């Protein structure tokens, strides 16, 4: 079975500061992918960043980076230079090749960026 755990229901960060959103995962598969999505108050799901289990370098996409620690089974999202528009729900997700493309989500972290 695969599981994603996000232990921070809510986070606050000041504008222009960096913030780390935690995600740990559990799987016995060797081949898997980790994803982060953003859900603003409008409700749509926006893909942010992807990390493959065999990728040696941490993924980066603009102000987003993924701190991938395979031995610890963690895939934390780092947002640098936070902006007011970053206020949203953030979901970590995982898909393993062994379970025929089942995509599993965590419970999410609500991030609030303050002035």
Partner 1 sequence: NAGVTQTPKFQVLKTGQSMTLQCAQDMNHNSMYWYRQDPGMGLRLIYYSASEGTTDKGEVPNGYNVSRLNKREFSLRLESAAPSQTSVYFCASSEGLGRGHTEAFFGQGTRLTVV
Which is closer to partner 1, CB of 41 or CB of 115?
A: 41
When asked if residue 71 is in the footprint of partner 1 (CB under 8 A), the reply is: no
Candidate list 27, 65, 106, 113; residue touching partner 1; CB under 8 A: 106
Q: Which residues contact 92 (CB under 8 A, 6 or more apart)?
A: 4, 6, 21, 23, 25, 34, 35, 36, 75, 77, 105, 106
Bridge-based pairing state of the strands 109-114 and 10-14: parallel
Select from 17-25, 64-72, 75-83, 105-113 the region that touches partner 1 (CB under 8 A).
105-113
DSSP state of 58: P
When asked if residue 7 is in the footprint of partner 1 (CB under 8 A), the reply is: no
Binding site for partner 1 (CB under 8 A): 6, 9, 31-33, 35, 43-45, 47, 50, 91, 93, 95-97, 100-108
């Amino acid at each position: 079975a695969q599981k994603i755990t996000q232990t921070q229901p809510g986070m606050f960060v000041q504008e222009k500061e960096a913030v780390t959103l935690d995600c740990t995962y559990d799987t016995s598969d060797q081949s898997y992918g980790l994803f982060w999505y953003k859900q603003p108050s409008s409700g749509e799901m926006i893909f942010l960043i992807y990390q493959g289990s065999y990728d040696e370098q941490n993924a980066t996409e603009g102000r987003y980076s993924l701190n991938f620690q395979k031995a610890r089974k963690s895939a934390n999202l780092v947002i640098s230079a936070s902006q007011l528009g970053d206020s949203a729900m953030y979901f970590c997700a995982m898909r393993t090749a062994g379970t025929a493309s089942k995509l599993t989500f965590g419970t999410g972290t609500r991030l609030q960026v303050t002035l």
